Amino acid sequence: MGMMRILLLADTHLGFDYAFRPRIVRRRRGPDFFHNFSKALEPALRKEVDIVVHGGDILYRSRVPARLVDMAFEPLRAVADGGVPVYIVPGNHERSGIPFRILAAHPNIHVFDEPKTYWLERNFRLALVGFPFIRHGIRKKFRQVMNSTGYATVQAAGYVLCMHQSVDGCIMGPRDFMMRGGDDVVNIHEIPPSFCCVLTGHMHRSQVLQKDPAGNAVQVPILYPGSIERTSFAEMDERKGYIIVQIHKGVSEKAELGRWIFHELPTRPMIRLEYHYNGQDSFTPWLLHRLGRLPKDSIVKIRVHGSVDRKLQKKITAASLRSLAPDTMNIQIALDLHRRNS
Ligand SMILES: [Mn+2]
């Protein structure tokens, strides 16, 4: 009898826009990611959860400086030191490059560096089943990978699957593109019904799948916490956060998925500005006017429409944009390349 709480976070992409020795001084987004990472782990440090699952993509790419690895692992180690076990799924950015062995040496940190089943006994026995990101052909390999985790030989009241994959029906991008049926997408009907839920990274949009793409209910919900900060303008309208998942066990032998709660993390506003250029130079006053009306910590992308001549070119260099925007903003330009040479 009782309950277990799992804190699920993923796609922390630490190291994104983080400079150890910056050549130019400008606001960077890197610290926002570290800040949200610490914030997401606070309930674990306060011991309000029994387990932490990181669904992969701890770091923003696979080759990173050792210092960054230390900075990224330290908060996870603090959680584990506090007595809350941490389970990590290696994501697409974490293959050979990242020294998981250092982390895995911690008695409270467990890495799914190959298909594996761990189990934990608190109020009841919960099996944590998982495998590292499989880049190609997961659809065909899924059953075999699940078999090789050995979960079927582990007796437990409940099973959760930890992975870093796309699943039929998951949605991404500003146009709500739905993944379904592809070689690199897990068939949602192949999740064994004995599982309480699937905890997975990879999709940067937070979402919970409870139906297949045809609209039929599925037995095992798929939970994506999404990324902890926006990694691109494709995510500009998405809320960011982590999920706390409850697994209950009543009088029956089987544990069940209870409530899950999305906890939102702070994000900076992302703003797109459109500038239409017709040869008449009004860029600087236009930009100052627009920037003056935006929140001071905005991340701004300016799209220039029209063919850019030398006169405008000089005004839209990174340095000149920075000189016009408050230091608290990030600002970048996107040229409408399609029309640039016309
Ligand atoms: Mn990712």
Q: Give per-residue pLDDT as tens, 137-160.
A: 999 999 999 999 999 999 999 999
Same domain, 277 and 241: no
Kindly report the CATH number assigned to the domain that includes residue 9: 3.60.21.10
Task: Decide if pLDDT at 341 tops 90.
Answer: no
User: What's the pLDDT band for 342 if we cut at 50, 70, 90?
Assistant: very low
% the chain with pLDDT above 70 = 96
Lowest-confidence range among 21-30, 221-230, 247-256?
Answer: 21-30
User: What's the pLDDT band for 256 if we cut at 50, 70, 90?
Assistant: very high
Same domain, 127 and 33: yes
Distance 184 CA to ligand 1 centre (A): 15
Distance 100 CA to ligand 1 centre (A): 18
Q: Would you state the torsion angle of the CA atoms of residues 270, 276, 279, 283, taken in this order, to the nearest 10 degrees?
A: -30
Distance 118 CA to ligand 1 centre (A): 24
Distance 166 CA to ligand 1 centre (A): 11
Task: Decide if pLDDT at 163 tops 70.
Answer: yes
Distance 226 CA to ligand 1 centre (A): 8
Same domain, 252 and 332: no
Question: Which of 264, 284, 308 represents a domain boundary (last residue)?
Answer: 264
Distance 205 CA to ligand 1 centre (A): 10
Distance 245 CA to ligand 1 centre (A): 21
Could you tell me the pTM of the whole model? 0.94
Same domain, 173 and 249: yes
Distance 58 CA to ligand 1 centre (A): 8
User: What's the pLDDT band for 335 if we cut at 50, 70, 90?
Assistant: confident
Lowest-confidence range among 26-40, 81-95, 203-217, 227-241?
Answer: 81-95
CA distance 226 to 61: 17
Same domain, 39 and 128: yes
Distance 286 CA to ligand 1 centre (A): 36
Same domain, 274 and 239: no
Distance 214 CA to ligand 1 centre (A): 26
Task: Decide if pLDDT at 258 tops 90.
Answer: yes
Task: Decide if pLDDT at 237 tops 60.
Answer: yes
Same domain, 231 and 330: no
Distance 113 CA to ligand 1 centre (A): 17
Distance 213 CA to ligand 1 centre (A): 23
What mean pLDDT do residues 8-12 have? 98
- Residue 340 confidence (pLDDT): 44
Distance 183 CA to ligand 1 centre (A): 19
- Residue 21 confidence (pLDDT): 85
Both tokens of 211, joined, read: 């139906």
User: What's the pLDDT band for 207 if we cut at 50, 70, 90?
Assistant: very high
Protein residues near ligand 1, an ion, with CB under 5 A: 11, 57
User: What's the pLDDT band for 95 if we cut at 50, 70, 90?
Assistant: low
Same domain, 173 and 199: yes
Burial class of residue 135, CB neighbours in 10 A (0-12, 13-18, 19+): exposed
Same domain, 140 and 202: yes
Same domain, 254 and 286: no
What mean pLDDT do residues 299-317 have? 91
Task: Decide if pLDDT at 280 tops 90.
Answer: no
% the chain with pLDDT above 90 = 81
The winner for highest mean pLDDT among 92-106, 138-152, 266-280 is: 138-152
Distance 277 CA to ligand 1 centre (A): 36
Taking CA atoms, 23 is separated from 12, 18, 179, 325, in Å, by 25, 12, 40, 19
What mean pLDDT do residues 50-70 have? 90
Mean of per-residue pLDDT scores for the chain: 93
Distance 57 CA to ligand 1 centre (A): 5
In this structure, are strands 109-111 and 86-88 parallel, antiparallel, or unpaired? parallel
Distance 77 CA to ligand 1 centre (A): 21
Distance 164 CA to ligand 1 centre (A): 9
Distance 123 CA to ligand 1 centre (A): 33
How many domains in the chain? 2
Distance 161 CA to ligand 1 centre (A): 18
- Residue 276 confidence (pLDDT): 93
Full domain range(s) for residue 321: 270-340
Question: Which of 231, 264, 297 represents a domain boundary (last residue)?
Answer: 264
Same domain, 109 and 130: yes
Give yes or no for a contact between 243 and 260, defined as CB atoms under 8 angstroms apart: yes
Same domain, 243 and 292: no
What mean pLDDT do residues 114-141 have? 96
Distance 225 CA to ligand 1 centre (A): 11
- Apex 180 CA angle, 218 and 56, nearest 5: 80
- Residue 133 confidence (pLDDT): 95
Question: Which of 248, 264, 280 represents a domain boundary (last residue)?
Answer: 264
